[in-house]
């Protein structure tokens, strides 16, 4: 006698369904493994290092100040009356006047677009009481002491503008007759006289600083007590100093 079940069982259908589920499970497992491998194979992310904000303007000013002062070869030997100066705080015109190694007269004319008048205040012959190391001269040598003012006049005939007061010691025995004659009769500045003479020269900046002017000639006595930016330099020819020049520019 055979047994009859109330429903029929299709084993093949169940087997296929089971096989399909096993395959799906395998695929999911493989994907998880592959994903884990891919994550491990990726290069590690670099940590972002926070950038530090810097004061570029301040650094630039410090650099300019240091760089420009390096042009003055005897800054440590400046007179005690000169105070240190922050060159970065000067105007471009004032910084240009301090470091130019050309004629100051021409520089002022180029900047102001006006002719510069060289006013001779005083010029005398002197005998050095002591050795002058900057001119490489022993005591007793004769030099020319010369003071001038460089000024411009406005078209509206307002009072003249003083740009420079210069005090120079000149070694007359090292200059030609044409330059010495120019000192007496020509109204050019020293730079113009040297340039027109054809003499090859070079300038050596010594020191710079801030000072208050005193004991000035009568023609510029009104400048006493005022603050000036000062510099000193030598003019050389054939390895010998021809003159020591102190130039002072009003602030």
Q: What is the DSSP string of 47-113?
A: PPPPPPP--HHHHHHHHHHHHHHTT-TTGGG--TTPBP--GGGS-HHHHHHHH--S-HHHHHHHHHS
Q: What is the pLDDT of residue 247?
A: 95
pLDDT, tens digit, 9 for 90 and up, residues 211-237: 998 888 888 888 889 999 999 999 999
HSE, CB side, 13 Å, CA atoms: give it for residue 64. Answer: 17
Q: What is the pLDDT of residue 37?
A: 43
Q: What is the pLDDT of residue 93?
A: 93
Q: What is the pLDDT of residue 138?
A: 97
Report which of 148, 118, 151 is spatially closest to residue 243, judged by C-alpha positions: 148
Q: Residues in the chain with pLDDT < 50? A: 1-9, 11, 27-28, 31-42, 49-57
Q: What is the pLDDT of residue 31?
A: 45
CATH for 65-250?
Answer: 3.40.1410.10
Spans of all domains in the chain: 11-43, 65-250
Strands 161-170, 240-250: parallel, antiparallel or unpaired by DSSP? antiparallel
CB 216 within 8 A of CB 186: no
pLDDT, tens digit, 9 for 90 and up, residues 58-89: 565 676 677 777 899 999 999 999 999 888 88
What Å distances lie between residue 88 and 60, 224, 228, 249, 251, CA to CA? 9, 26, 16, 16, 14
């Amino acid at each position: 006698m055979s047994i009859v079940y109330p429903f029929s069982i299709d084993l093949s259908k169940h087997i296929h369904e089971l096989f399909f589920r096993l395959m799906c499970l395998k695929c999911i497992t493989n994907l998880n493994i592959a994903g884990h491998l891919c994550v491990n194979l990726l290069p590690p992310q670099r940590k972002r290092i926070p950038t530090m904000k810097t004061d570029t303007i301040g650094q630039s000013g410090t650099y300019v100040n240091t760089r420009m002062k390096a042009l003055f070869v005897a800054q440590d030997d400046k007179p005690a009356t000169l105070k240190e100066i922050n060159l970065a705080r000067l105007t471009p015109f004032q910084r240009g006047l301090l470091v130019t190694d050309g004629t100051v007269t021409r520089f002022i004319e180029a900047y102001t677009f006006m002719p510069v008048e060289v006013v001779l205040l005083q010029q005398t012959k002197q005998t050095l009481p002591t050795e002058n190391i900057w001119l490489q001269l022993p005591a007793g040598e004769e030099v020319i002491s010369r003071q001038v003012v460089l000024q411009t006049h406005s078209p509206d005939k307002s009072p003249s503008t003083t740009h420079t007061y210069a005090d120079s010691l000149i070694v007359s025995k090292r200059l030609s007759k044409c330059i010495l004659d120019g000192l007496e009769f020509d109204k050019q500045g020293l730079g113009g006289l040297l340039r027109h003479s054809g003499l090859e020269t070079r300038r050596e900046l010594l020191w710079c600083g801030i000072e208050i002017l005193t004991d000035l000639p009568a023609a510029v006595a009104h400048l006493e007590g005022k603050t000036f930016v000062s510099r000193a330099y030598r003019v050389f020819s054939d390895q010998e100093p021809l003159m020591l020049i102190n130039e002072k520019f009003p602030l």
